[in-house]
Amino acid sequence: MSLLEWVLIAVFIVLAVNYWLVRRNLKYGHQWPGPTAFPLIGCYYIYFNKSPEDVVEFITTLHRKYGKMFCVWIGTRLALFCTNTRDTETVLSSQKLIRKSELYKFLVPWLGNGLLLSTDQKWFNKRKIITPAFHFKILEQFIEVFDRQSGILVQKLRADANGMLANIYPYITLAALDVICETAMGTSINAQTDADSKYVKAVTELSYLLAGRFVKVWQRSDFLFNLTPEKKRQDKIIKMLHDFTTNIIRTRRQQLIDRGTSGILGDETIGSKTKMAFLDVLLQATVDGQPLTDKEIQEEVDTFMFEGHDTTTIAIAFTLLLLARHSEIQAKVHREVAEIIGNDPNAPVSYRNLQDMKYLEMVIKESLRLYPPVPIIGRKITEKVEIGGKTVPEDTNVNFGLYFMHRDPTLFEDPEKFDPERFNSERTLEQSSPYAYIPFSAGPRNCIGQKFAMLELKSTISKVIRHYRLTEAGPEPELIIQLTLKPKNGLKIAFVPR
């Protein structure tokens, strides 16, 4: 046979295999608008020459062109992008559709099968184990940590408290890292006094590498990604992160043994005066009478570390940016905080004090609406389902654009306006569905740490406002998606001492 004949046979086989792979989905794909898909490659071409910095604009363009539900073929795999609240509720409220979309698989080498990534019975077991770690009595113990670390933050900020624009993002990142290390692992790493934190730099770089696999769609194939220099760099970073948490786990386990602490965590333990870290809960937990393995504990600790410092950093920073832009709202926050705590900016706060900061909570909620730290969440459809009257086939990935839903003018009046009063309990929230506003996700897989996060946000933001008057905000930051929503070049705010 000639070379031409072999080429023709190869082409025929490729096209036949491609048709076989997508034939189940072909009859469903036409139900939604989307970019033109070609045999075998699908819509790969729309990702050409894209970087993580382009993701927000890239998705915005597709959303404007194709509407609230559109499809994209990633090779032979169907993917849907949704900002329709009805369809979002259908999936996120389901007790069966709890598997994360395939994009989350990029996190597995780092976070393993922890609470974020596990599914089915393993996820239910982990959720049950971890829930006691967020008991209000344990959260109440963390208030002192929040207050002390935010006290260090305001001292560090003093160097830039001259009324000139300064990037506050690095300061807040280190403060959030100190908080999560002490609360999650019971260990102080003093990141704020060691600004050259290797952990922060490693997480930032790893997030960028993982986000790159979203837009470099050929890297979604593990086989192809494993051939790239990015894979070697990823492995090196993950080893460093794992070594960091493993050493802390071993040290904490020995401390518990030395204290004679063992057995199953119960209400009596939770109510004790001994301060407990989340790690302590994991070290004392059992499944079917067996303690968790070191690997299982490490997966949860790594998950806590990632989710607990990155997302709170984003929320604190953007809330301060918005307060700097709106002096009248900032003044109202300051008045509320002063009425609750008093005029001494260094006075400690209590759990009850933070609970009473109702207006600040409204401000934070509105900030999370405009800048949700996790702008997109995804699920993998594990069985054929009806969504919006249309059949979605098994193995379809559905991604939900929270950032776009939160700014939808059909859901929120004047959506680009910063208006904390939207969340006033005496005013009807201007949304048609409880799924129109879901910064902590929703349904059975909602964020287990949202109460923890709100307390930390209130403590940190109120401490900054007690010490400083935010006088000016820099230009609207360029937003990028690196797993979470980040300002590409930091967040600049001007502030002076009160």
- The per-residue DSSP string of 302-366 comes to HHHHHHHHHHHHHHHHHHHHHHHH-HHHHHHHHHHHHHHH-S-TT----HHHHHH-HHHHHHHHH
pLDDT of residue 264: 39
pLDDT of residue 451: 93
pLDDT of residue 209: 86
Q: How many residues does the chain have?
A: 498
> Which tokens is 370 given?
């405009």
3-state secondary structure of 460: helix
Strands 397-401 and 77-82: parallel
Q: What is the DSSP letter of 42?
A: B
Q: How many Å apart are CA 478 and CA 488, to the nearest integer? A: 6
Q: What is the DSSP letter of 217?
A: G
What are the distances in angstroms from CA 297 to CA 129, 260, 294? 11, 20, 5
pLDDT of residue 432: 64
pLDDT of residue 233: 93
pLDDT of residue 343: 87
pLDDT of residue 283: 84
Please report, in angstroms and rounded to a whole number, the separation of the first and last CA atoms in the chain. 85
pLDDT of residue 14: 56
For the whole model, what pTM was predicted?
A: 0.88
Secondary structure percentages of the chain, helix, strand, coil, to 5? 60, 10, 30
Q: How many Å apart are CA 455 and CA 321, to the nearest integer? A: 19
Q: How many Å apart are CA 40 and CA 17, to the nearest integer? A: 9
Cβ contact 179:312 at 8 Å: yes
Cβ contact 277:252 at 8 Å: yes
Residues of the chain below pLDDT 70: 1-27, 29, 40, 195-197, 260-275, 426-432
pLDDT of residue 269: 43
pLDDT of residue 17: 55
Q: What is the DSSP letter of 260?
A: T
What are the distances in angstroms from CA 261 to CA 76, 132, 159, 283? 53, 17, 43, 10
Cβ contact 165:494 at 8 Å: yes
> Which tokens is 492 given?
């600049």
**Amino acid in position 184:** A
CATH number of the 47-497 domain:
1.10.630.10
pLDDT of residue 268: 40
